[in-house]
């Protein structure tokens, strides 16, 4: 009997449409067990990452007509209607407008990935200065050689070398390798060695060489002599004993320590300074090792105070985590976001080139280019200039940000004041500066509370190339415990550029002197460049014996607020900032960079990548997504993660936050334990501690197995025309 109820026809049509759409989805994605299906409250998070596509109106009409032709039941008759005109062509959606504030390495990396990954989007990159690159800056400088010839040297005003992540459980360096592969500059990488292995600490009034890593008899004898003759090593034996006892990983010790921990989440949410943490570990809160040996390390990396910086946000993070909740020997605490990044990069088109660079990184501590990092900045700048969906605006400081309606108004300062509307804005500026330009005024007080230090960088070049012959090496750092009369200029350290650079530069002695940091935090008046050069010359005369009468060429740069300080309470401040950003900008303003996550070039690139992929694809926090449920070429390797989860338990949010809007600080709203996983270290790729069976290349750099076999789809993944990962990438291999 024919149905006379229109709603029944409509329901039948919906069933047919759902059946066809579901059938197409099954062909494109692996089957998902019912127990793994997302709940309704998690729908937006999973939809943002799925491959389903919305049906257009024309497709619905065709499905309706097809459905009527193959129905097995009668339908109600309808009076004939005149033929309808075809619907007007739908207008294309306007391009999403995104502004990236800051042309440093974080902003450049974010724009690089947005240009490639964000469809129907236009990116505008704002930079206040006349050049891109931020603190990475090299200035070609004319000099005269001893024989009176004109020559040129490159004076580096910022970072000039990078350290791989092969010794850490992090994968930030995979972003660097992926960018290098995208730019095609992997053949320009160099690995500094030789003199770069010799490092010094200035204490109390002379240079003391640190033991070299190579365990040769000569190095061992030198280390023993230094230990018994230099006051720098006072307290080292007691500190080392306390360290060994605290971090013993025998089964009995680990189990006993775990019994003492009643609340893992509370343990991970604690915070303390580096000095407090090490004093507790050493068993002596006044250990001279803290001020003599640890403080110079923090000077060189953060320009910060060992008594203020947070232990969990510095190079001591992995030890702090181990102390909070100890793991057995051979295990490591890993951020789940790093496991996601690992899979994302190795699922990408550059995976073979990335694997090669990452494997080489396990054999070298440092990497750079012949002109420091200028090659990387120039390549990124050139690449963005070629992108039709990117506009670069240098000499364009932003004076204000304000939410109006559903857009953010970006106001430019200068002679040509102008305001432009954007759908989303990514700020890579120093947090304190962002707080100043955000409107209404004082709407981001927690960002205003994030401190940063200023570094004055002074470059000195001497035609005499023998000035460092008694102390060749990487350079030296200066502890906080050095008497004021030995360091009245408040220097942090000196780099021996001429000993560590490998370019074909003019012969001579080239130094970089770093002044300021936390020492200058309370100074109301800072030295100008001319005064800083005089201070630097005084330092190298007193410390290295370089006479003021030596001919020289110098340059200086004031790096204002260049190193944000992650002091105790950093995560608490960021958590408050997350809610302030959400209230003031409704998820339209995202932040990224060293004000929020780790300091350094590679962590900054990682921050830019995360922000870009979140904006482009909604791919980001919550990192608590279970990795064993993820697809992709590399998901079968997550067996190690699954095994670890069975041992340590799976701590995960049942209802993670949806990918709708973002501040970039959502991770601060969860306990750190929810974002960590304990894994067997030997199963982690590209590490010095990686097991032999997990290596891709042999010692000669050759593939251990057929490269083609590495990228075949495992049996439990679907195959078909839409699976791009079946074919290995081309054009990125040597």
The residue ranges of every structural domain in the chain are 92-130+394-450+568-622+657-668, 162-170+212-367+624-652+671-734
For the residues of 329-360, what is the DSSP string, one character each? TTEEEEEHHHHHHHHHHHTSTTHHHHHHHHHH
Give percent above pLDDT 70 in the chain.
76
State the chain's mean pLDDT as an integer: 83
Output phi, psi for 652, to 5 deg. Answer: -145, 150
pLDDT given for residue 586 in this prediction: 94
pLDDT in tens, 345-403: 988 899 999 999 999 999 988 899 988 899 999 999 999 999 999 999 999 999 999 99
- Please write the tens of the pLDDT for every residue from 596-626: 999 999 999 999 999 999 998 776 665 444 4
- According to DSSP, the residues that pair with 412 across neighbouring strands are 398, 418
Q: Report whether pLDDT(458) > 50.
A: yes
d(CA 475, CA 472): 8
pLDDT bin (cut points 50, 70, 90) of residue 249 is confident
Give the DSSP letter string of 135-167. Answer: T--EEEEEEE-TTS-EEEEEEE-S---EE-STT
Rounded (10°) CA dihedral 523, 524, 529, 534: -50
| Rg value, the chain, Cα | 29
What pLDDT is stored for residue 83 in this prediction? 55
Of 505 and 288, more confident: 288
- Quote the pTM value: 0.82
Protein fold of 92-130+394-450+568-622+657-668 = FAD/NAD(P)-binding domain (3.50.50)
DSSP lists the bridge partners of residue 124 as 99, 391
Q: Is the pLDDT of residue 56 over 80?
A: no
Instruction: Check the CA dihedral 39-43-49-53 and report its sign.
Output: positive
Alpha-carbon gap, residue 670 to 653, rounded angstroms: 9
Does residue 39 surpass a pLDDT of 50?
A: no
Whether pLDDT at 31 is above 50: no
Q: Which of 94, 91, 89 is nearest to 120 (CA)?
A: 94
Q: Is the pLDDT of residue 636 over 50?
A: no
pLDDT attached to residue 36: 36
């Amino acid at each position: 009997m024919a149905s006379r109820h229109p709603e029944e026809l409509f329901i039948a049509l919906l069933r047919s449409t759902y059946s066809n759409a579901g059938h197409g989805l099954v062909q494109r994605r692996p089957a998902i067990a019912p127990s793994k299906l997302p709940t309704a409250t998690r729908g937006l998070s999973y939809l943002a990452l799925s491959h389903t596509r919305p049906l257009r109106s024309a497709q619905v009409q065709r499905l309706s007509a097809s459905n009527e032709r193959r129905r097995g039941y009668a339908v109600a008759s309808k009076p004939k209607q005149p033929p309808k005109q075809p619907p007007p062509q739908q207008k294309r959606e306007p391009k999403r407008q995104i502004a990236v504030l800051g042309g440093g390495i974080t902003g450049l990396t974010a724009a690089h990935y947005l240009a490639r990954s964000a469809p129907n989007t236009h990116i505008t990159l704002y930079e206040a200065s006349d050049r891109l690159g931020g603190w990475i800056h090299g200035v070609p400088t004319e000099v005269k050689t001893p024989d009176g010839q004109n020559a040129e040297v490159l004076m580096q005003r910022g970072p000039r070398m990078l350290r791989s992540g092969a010794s850490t459980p992090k994968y930030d360096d995979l972003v660097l390798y992926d960018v290098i592969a995208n730019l095609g500059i992997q053949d320009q990488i160099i690995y500094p060695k030789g003199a770069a292995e010799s490092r010094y600490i200035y204490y109390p009034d002379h240079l003391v060489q640190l033991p070299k890593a190579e365990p040769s008899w000569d190095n061992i004898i030198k280390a023993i002599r230094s230990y018994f003759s230099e006051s720098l090593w006072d307290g080292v034996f007691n500190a080392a004993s306390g360290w060994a006892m605290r971090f013993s990983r025998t089964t009995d010790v680990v189990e006993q320590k775990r019994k003492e921990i009643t609340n893992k989440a509370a343990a991970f949410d604690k915070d303390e300074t580096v000095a407090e943490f090490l004093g507790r570990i050493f068993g002596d809160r006044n250990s001279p090792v803290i001020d003599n040996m640890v403080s110079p390390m923090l000077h060189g990396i953060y320009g910060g105070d060992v008594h203020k910086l947070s232990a969990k946000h510095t190079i001591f993070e992995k030890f702090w985590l181990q102390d909070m909740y100890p793991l057995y020997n051979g295990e490591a605490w890993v951020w789940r976001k790093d496991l996601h990044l690992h899979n994302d990069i190795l699922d990408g088109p550059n995976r073979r080139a990335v694997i090669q660079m990452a494997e080489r990184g396990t054999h070298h501590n440092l990497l750079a280019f012949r002109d420091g990092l200028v090659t990387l900045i120039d390549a990124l700048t050139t690449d963005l200039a070629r992108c039709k969906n990117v506009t670069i605006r240098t000499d364009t400081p932003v004076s204000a940000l304000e939410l109006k309606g559903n857009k953010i108004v970006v106001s430019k300062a200068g002679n040509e004041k102008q305001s432009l509307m954007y759908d989303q804005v990514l700020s890579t500026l120093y947090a304190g500066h962002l707080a100043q330009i955000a409107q209404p005024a004082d709407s981001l007080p927690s960002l205003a509370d994030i401190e940063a230090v200023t570094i004055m960088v002074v470059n000195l070049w001497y035609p005499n190339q023998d000035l460092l012959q008694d102390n060749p090496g990487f350079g030296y750092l200066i502890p906080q415990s050095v008497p004021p009369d030995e360091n009245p200029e408040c220097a942090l350290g000196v780099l021996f550029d001429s000993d560590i650079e490998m370019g074909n530069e003019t012969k001579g002695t080239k130094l970089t002197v770093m002044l300021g940091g936390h020492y200058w935090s309370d100074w109301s008046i800072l030295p100008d460049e001319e005064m800083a050069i005089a201070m630097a010359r005084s330092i190298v005369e007193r410390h290295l014996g370089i006479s003021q009468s030596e001919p020289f060429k110098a340059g200086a740069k004031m790096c204002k607020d260049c190193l944000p300080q992650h002091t105790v309470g950093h995560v608490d401040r960021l958590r408050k900032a997350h809610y302030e950003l959400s209230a003031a900008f409704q998820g339209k303003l995202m932040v990224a960079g060293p004000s929020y996550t780790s300091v350094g070039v590679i962590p900054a690139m990682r921050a830019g990548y995360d922000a870009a992929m979140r904006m482009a694809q909604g791919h980001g926090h919550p990192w608590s997504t279970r990795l064993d449920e993820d697809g992709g070429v590399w998901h079968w390797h997550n067996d190690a993660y699954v095994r670890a989860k069975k041992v340590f338990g799976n701590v995960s949010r049942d209802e993670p936050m949806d990918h709708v809007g973002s501040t970039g600080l959502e991770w601060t709203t969860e306990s750190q334990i929810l974002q960590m996983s304990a894994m067997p270290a030997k199963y982690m790729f590209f590490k010095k501690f990686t097991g032999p069976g997990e290596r891709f290349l042999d010692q000669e750099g050759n593939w251990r197995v057929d490269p083609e076999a590495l990228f075949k789809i495992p049996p439990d993944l679907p195959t078909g025309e839409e699976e791009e990962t079946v074919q290995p990438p081309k054009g990125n291999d040597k």
